Amino acid sequence: MCPNVLNKKQKKIIEHLDFLGKNFYLAGGTGLALQLGHRTSVDFDFYTPTHFSSEKILADFQKKFKNLTVRRTTKDTLIITVNKIELSFFYYPYKLLKPTVLFETVKLASAEDIAAMKIVAIIQRGRRRDFIDIFYLLGKYPLEEIIKFVLKKYPGYQKMLILRALIYFEEAEKEKLGRAIKLFDKNFSWK
């Protein structure tokens, strides 16, 4: 694990998330960065395969944290900001490919699961940070294996769609990097 990817505010939050229980797991850029150590991330994206009460999770957070803002609350979705760090909670019915791994008291989706999720994110929106994450995942898994992760986790996708999304950079090229992430690899360049 690579705890150095977290800033002080993130570390303080993650230390107090034991109340989330066994169903929620962290994925997204932060979940991957904690495993690969390649970059920082600015938020926490939690997922669960079971329906949940947004109100109960919110009440638990309000007991633990004072500086909290609710951004969105609906059935099976909660997005809040705690000390200027965004935390998202989503019902996510897709099965995990591999068991979760533990970081402190928080479960993380496996790198295989996050790889599949990142490919789908690229298909849907093509942000730079997702391409950057795939670049570093390719240091761990061959592309063909990552494609197999996607097809196993999301059987509705086709290999051709995945490959086309991975070479379409137009949206990523236009993107303004408002959410500041820091890469630890000084040799990496988007260009």
- CB of 14 closer than 8 Å to CB of 2: no
**Count of domains forming the chain:** 2
Q: Which domain holds residue 169?
A: 110-177
Is 114 in the same domain as 103? no
Out of 53, 87, 109, a domain closes at 109
Q: What is the pLDDT of residue 180?
A: 67
Flag whether 3 is in a domain: yes
Is 65 in the same domain as 116? no
Is 62 in the same domain as 129? no
Q: What is the pLDDT of residue 17?
A: 92
Is 123 in the same domain as 102? no
Q: What is the pLDDT of residue 168?
A: 85
Q: What is the pLDDT of residue 191?
A: 67
Flag whether 87 is in a domain: yes
Q: What is the pLDDT of residue 171?
A: 81
Is 105 in the same domain as 160? no
Task: Name residues of the chain where pLDDT drops below 50.
Answer: none
Q: What is the pLDDT of residue 177?
A: 60
Out of 61, 76, 109, a domain closes at 109
Is 24 in the same domain as 75? yes
Is 82 in the same domain as 115? no
Q: What is the pLDDT of residue 5?
A: 96
pTM: 0.92
Flag whether 170 is in a domain: yes
Q: Which residues pair with 50 in a beta bridge?
A: none
Is 7 in the same domain as 76? yes
Flag whether 31 is in a domain: yes
Flag whether 65 is in a domain: yes
Is 87 in the same domain as 143? no
Q: What is the pLDDT of residue 30?
A: 97
**Angle (CA) 78 81 82, round 5°:** 120
Phi/psi-derived region of residue 126, left when phi > 0, alpha when psi is between -120 and 50, beta in every other case = left
Out of 69, 89, 109, a domain closes at 109
Is 127 in the same domain as 144? yes
Is 153 in the same domain as 167? yes
CA atoms of 79 and 178, how far apart (whole Å): 19
Is 10 in the same domain as 93? yes
Backbone angles phi, psi at 7, to 5 degrees: -85, 175
CA distances from residue 45 to 29, 41, 147, 154 in whole angstroms, order as listed: 8, 11, 22, 19
CATH number of the domain bearing residue 103: 3.10.450.620
